A and B are shown apart, each in its own frame.
Chain A
Amino acid sequence: MIALEGVSKIYPGLPRPAVDDLTLMVPGGRTCVLIGPSGCGKTTTMRMVNRLIEPTRGRIVVEGEDVTHADPVSLRRRIGYVIQQIGLFPHMTIAQNVATVPELLGWPSARVAARVDEMLSLVGLDPGGVRDRYPRHLSGGQRQRVGVARALAADPPVMLMDEPFGAVDPLVRTHLQDEFLSILKRLRKTVILVTHDIDEAIRMGDLVAILKDGRLVQCDAPDRLLAMPANAFVADFVGADRALKRLSLVMAGDACEPGTAPAGAPEIAATLSLRDALAILLGTSTEALRVTGPDGQAVGIVTLAGIRARAGEGAGRGLRAAG
């Protein structure tokens, strides 16, 4: 659990606070994505949690403990930290990098070594292959995996990630996002993640917090954010295709209706999204798709009308109310 209560950061000489009276609550095991235009205060907000930056006002609570006056060094050993530039130590092997915090905590060396291998496997690297290599021997994607392995090594309950996919190319990025998301979920980590990429925010966040000029504009689950943007700024920020984005959040299996598809109708796996379903429907002349389960058995159908209803469900009101 991470809670920010009325947190501000004021730099003397700036016309406005870098972070302005921000209140935000991330429940345990959930991921909150901070997003907003450049300079809106995302990084500052995140770095106040592990006290790389001291808040001017307000209170920050991590796992029930007020950290505003905690010892920063020991606090940081309980919070995993991943930055965009990755910041692996170039003069240390991959194993030494991953071992950083366990060693600071004084774990016995056999336990550290076992943990290093466990973490490397967890992030999809072959421990035997990379353990004794140096960061410069790895690709950008591999380095990013090591950065996450290092942050997870001492099993911190909380993770802070500042644009963790910024340095990897788009193809690798989507794959890494899915992989890291499933790892973080499995380990039930509480995560604050900063990004510039609205698709990444929607894919990875249980909550998405939109910031502008240091202020929190809206913090909601992705589906609500897309359905009911609080104002024109948010609507603009999430993009004109927000109806389409909502569809990508829903799996065909969860949205299917009972019924049988007409003979010759295309099939879609239950684990694909309604957005994929729509793409298939648009490419054919049929109105319905057969949704198939893991063994290929039919579990229901999705229809064009059903998809349209789903994309518009609960939408519009908030935006219209805000003008």
Chain B
Amino acid sequence: MVGPVFTWIAEHPKVFWTAAQQHLVLSAAALGLALALALPLAVVLLRWRRAAATAIALVNVLRTIPSLALLVVMLPILGTGFQPALVALTLYGLPAILINAYTALSEVDADIVEAATGQGLSRAQIVRRIQVPLALPVIFAGIRTAAVQIVSAATLAAFIGGGGLGELITAGMGTLDIPQLVVGGLAVAALAILTELAFGLAERRLNRTRHA
């Protein structure tokens, strides 16, 4: 099986690398957007504990929606292509980041926060200098989970014309081109594993420098 896979890539380099590149761009953009939404939201929710409970409950519902359903729901609203795929993947990655960030920030030891308040740190200074650094390992674990989820789910973007490695799979299925199908599957799996490894490595390095 390995032979036909490499033969297929060698014969269709442009198709393969375009799909891989689309996949990466789509995933990175979705992760970036999810971060840009979830992290500030987590900080805002710290000050609105009651709203926070509702927000977390809503996000937990979002979390239970299958990725394919989320993508397909975008069809009637945003049509097909890159944009609806981006929106769906952003929503898909958001819960892990938001829940981890909010939980970790709000669970920073109350005595430490009180001591900081008593020393005369402002609210913003407490978030920036005390809560974020102390919550960072858990926040980062949430980001890693979201990244892997997004990379995997981005495969389904092909169903709504969002491109990516999923196209190799759908095309391969359509024409019963088994090598193409397998290339798509293997490439997605490899990318997900690489993402997990890379973020895991960064996470370990982060924790190591913090506890020197």
> Contact: A81 with B210, CB < 8 Å?
no
The reply on B104 being an interface residue by CB < 8 A is no
**B residues near A86, Cβ cutoff 8 Å:** 111, 115
**A residues near B117, Cβ cutoff 8 Å:** 52, 76
The reply on A107 being an interface residue by CB < 8 A is no
- Give the 9 A-B residue pairs with the shortest CB-CB distance, closest first: A87-B115, A77-B120, A76-B120, A81-B118, A85-B111, A87-B111, A91-B133, A100-B119, A87-B112
Question: Within the complex, what minimum Cβ distance (angstroms) separates A104 from chain B?
Answer: 6
The reply on A9 being an interface residue by CB < 8 A is no
Cα A76 to Cα B123 with chains together (Å): 13
Cα A75 to Cα B122 with chains together (Å): 12
Q: Residues 69-88 of chain B: 1 if any A CB is under 8 Å from the residue's CB, otherwise 0?
A: 00000000000000000000
- A-to-B contact residues, CB < 8 Å: 50, 52, 73-77, 81, 83, 85-91, 100-101, 104, 150-151, 160
> Contact: A77 with B115, CB < 8 Å?
no
Instruction: Output the residue of B111, B119, B125 with the most chain A CB within 10 A.
Output: B119
Question: Within the complex, what minimum Cβ distance (angstroms) separates A150 from chain B?
Answer: 7
**A residues near B121, Cβ cutoff 8 Å:** 73, 100, 104
Cα A151 to Cα B115 with chains together (Å): 10
**A residues near B118, Cβ cutoff 8 Å:** 50, 52, 76, 81, 83, 87, 160
Q: A89-B130, A90-B134, A91-B210 are in contact. Are A81 and B122 (CB under 8 A)?
A: no
Cα A85 to Cα B113 with chains together (Å): 11
> Contact: B111 with A101, CB < 8 Å?
no
> Contact: A74 with B120, CB < 8 Å?
yes
Q: A91-B133, A101-B119 are in contact. Are A83 and B210 (CB under 8 A)?
A: no
A selection of 10 A-B contacts at a CB cut-off of 8 Å is A52-B114, A73-B121, A74-B120, A86-B111, A87-B116, A89-B112, A89-B115, A89-B129, A100-B121, A104-B125
Complex partner residue of B111 from A50, A76, A83, A151, CB under 8 angstroms: A83
Question: Within the complex, what minimum Cβ distance (angstroms) separates B140 from chain A?
Answer: 14
**B residues near A50, Cβ cutoff 8 Å:** 118
User: Restricting to B84-114, which residues have a CB under 8 Å from any CB of A?
Assistant: 109, 111-112, 114
Cα A287 to Cα B117 with chains together (Å): 57
**B residues near A101, Cβ cutoff 8 Å:** 119-120
- With A88-B115, A91-B133, A100-B121 known, 9 other A-B pairs at CB within 8 A are A76-B119, A81-B119, A83-B118, A87-B115, A89-B115, A89-B129, A90-B112, A91-B210, A101-B119
**A residues near B112, Cβ cutoff 8 Å:** 87-90
**A residues near B134, Cβ cutoff 8 Å:** 90-91
Question: Within the complex, what minimum Cβ distance (angstroms) separates A94 from chain B?
Answer: 14
**B residues near A77, Cβ cutoff 8 Å:** 119-120
> Contact: A83 with B120, CB < 8 Å?
no
**B residues near A74, Cβ cutoff 8 Å:** 120
Complex partner residue of A87 from B114, B122, B129, B133, CB under 8 angstroms: B114
